[in-house]
């Protein structure tokens, strides 16, 4: 995170300086008056930052409460603040408008974060007890490098998690295709879903593989299908896919394992679109690994947006204990989470996503989520 202080004669001038140097995506962390209060030498100090995320904020934010003006306390974007100063409109109106106008998926996360910070600013002023900062002595005064209060961090996190969606309880897909980058676990997840729908839900299931690129991929899926005594088809061409779907139209659920490629491969995305086009009932589900970096998650979601995925499948949740980036990108995608995978075992390490589990995982971590599963399984 890049953090910098600006001093100017007034807030409008300071905002202009920040926009010129840091751009409209900068975030205002704090404002306060400095100098003598004689009306002549008094100036405004504004602290701004850019290239931020929730993990970095928790480590680096400088927080300066202004008790004389409670509304100046909080975090907001340069763009929203500048419009509010210039036009006199409330941030509650400006921030959503700004969020709607910029539809570039590469800025989804930053827009979402700015919107949440703006909403925080428009809430009621903080309680009389000042928010304590972690500056080593528990004082409410700000110091360079001071962390935000745990209360503020929890508030940001909880507001973010509340936006996570899951599909409606009565939603049951007919034709479901797993798409995503190489190595996210599509084939193993396909097998887990086949076991869940056939053995637990008692539905008739057929498996299809479109993965003709990875050595042994079709053999792996065939092996799973043989164990579960399920039909398995290989589709090497678009007409093979259409024929296989027609052949198994009597099945309750058809699961399709697709080839994994780089999310930067536009030809692969176009090929998937072409193959899926004749299949009106097909629902693509984007598979995301919890171990993927934030930037790569963002790229995957942006790249696969062209195929109009209906939901997300989260895999490898057991292989990390840091879920902040994943949580941010799930919210930024505006897609519900349909299934989660918590290990390599087939079919044990799999479950249909529910809001309570996701809340527990993202708020309290892996151990709490594991205890939640064990508790609900016991009953």
- 199 assigned to some structural domain: yes
| Segments forming the whole domain that contains residue 54 | 2-162
- 167 assigned to some structural domain: no
What is the length of the chain? 379
Q: Which of 162, 193, 228 is the last residue of a domain?
A: 162
For residue 354, count other CB atoms closer than 10 A to its CB: 15
| Exposure of 178 in the CB half-sphere (CA atoms within 13 A) | 33
H helices present in the chain, as ranges: 11-22, 54-60, 78-87, 91-101, 108-122, 150-162, 186-195, 217-228, 238-247, 266-276, 294-303, 324-333, 355-364, 366-378
3 state SS of 313? strand
Q: Report pLDDT for 111.
A: 53
- CA angle 290/328/358 to nearest 5° reads 65
Q: What is the pTM of this model?
A: 0.62
Q: Is there a contact between 217 and 185 (Cβ–Cβ < 8 Å)? A: no
Q: Report pLDDT for 54.
A: 47
Q: Which of 118, 136, 162 is the last residue of a domain?
A: 162
Residue of 235, 211, 237, 197 lying closest to 347 (CA atoms): 197
- 360 assigned to some structural domain: yes
Q: Which of 130, 162, 194 is the last residue of a domain?
A: 162
Dist. CA 163–CA 217, nearest whole Å: 36
- 243 assigned to some structural domain: yes
**CATH number, domain containing residue 330:** 3.40.50.300
Residue of 110, 74, 79 lying closest to 94 (CA atoms): 79
For residue 151, count other CB atoms closer than 10 A to its CB: 10
Q: Are 224 and 370 in a shared domain?
A: yes
User: What's the number of domains the chain is made of?
Assistant: 2
Mean pLDDT in order along the chain per 10 residues (379 residues): 80 87 76 71 80 48 40 46 44 40 46 52 46 33 56 84 87 87 93 93 94 72 91 92 95 94 90 92 96 95 94 97 94 95 90 95 94 81
Q: Is there a contact between 363 and 156 (Cβ–Cβ < 8 Å)? A: no
Q: Are 364 and 276 in a shared domain?
A: yes
Dist. CA 34–CA 173, nearest whole Å: 61
């Amino acid at each position: 995170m890049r953090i910098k202080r600006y001093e100017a004669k007034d807030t409008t001038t300071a905002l202009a300086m920040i926009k010129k140097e840091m751009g409209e995506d900068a975030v205002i962390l704090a404002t306060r008056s400095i100098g003598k209060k004689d009306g002549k030498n008094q100036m405004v100090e504004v602290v701004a930052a850019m290239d931020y995320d929730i993990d970095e904020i928790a480590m680096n934010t400088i927080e300066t409460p202004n008790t004389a003006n409670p509304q100046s306390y909080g975090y907001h974007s340069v763009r929203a603040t500048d419009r509010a100063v210039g036009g006199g409109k409330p941030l509650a109106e400006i921030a959503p408008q700004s969020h709607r106008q910029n539809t570039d998926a590469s800025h989804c996360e930053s827009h979402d974060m700015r919107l949440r910070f703006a909403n925080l600013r428009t809430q009621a002023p903080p309680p009389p007890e000042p928010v304590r900062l972690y500056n080593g002595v528990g004082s409410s005064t700000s110091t360079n490098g001071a962390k935000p209060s745990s209360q503020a961090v929890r508030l940001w996190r909880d507001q973010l998690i509340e936006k996570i969606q899951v599909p409606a309880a009565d939603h049951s897909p007919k034709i479901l295709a797993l798409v995503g980058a190489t190595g996210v676990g599509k084939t193993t997840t396909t097998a887990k879903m086949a076991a869940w729908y056939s053995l637990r839900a008692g539905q008739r299931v057929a498996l299809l593989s479109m993965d003709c690129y990875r050595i042994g991929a079709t053999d792996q899926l065939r092996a799973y299908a043989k164990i579960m005594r399920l039909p398995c088809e290989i589709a090497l061409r678009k007409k093979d896919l259409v024929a296989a779907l027609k052949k198994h139209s009597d099945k309750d659920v058809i699961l399709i394992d697709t080839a994994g490629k780089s999310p930067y491969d536009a030809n692969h995305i176009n090929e998937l679109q072409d193959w899926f086009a004749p299949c009106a009932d097909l629902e693509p589900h984007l598979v995301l690994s919890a171990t993927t970096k934030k930037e790569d998650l963002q790229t995957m979601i942006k790249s696969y947006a062209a195929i109009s995925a209906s939901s997300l499948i989260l895999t490898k949740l057991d292989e990390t204990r840091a879920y902040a980036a994943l949580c941010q990108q799930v919210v930024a995608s505006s897609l519900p989470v349909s299934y989660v995978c918590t290990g390599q075992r087939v079919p044990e390490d799999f479950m249909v996503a529910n809001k309570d589990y996701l809340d527990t995982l993202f708020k309290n971590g892996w151990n709490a989520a594991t205890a939640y599963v064990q508790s609900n399984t016991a009953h």
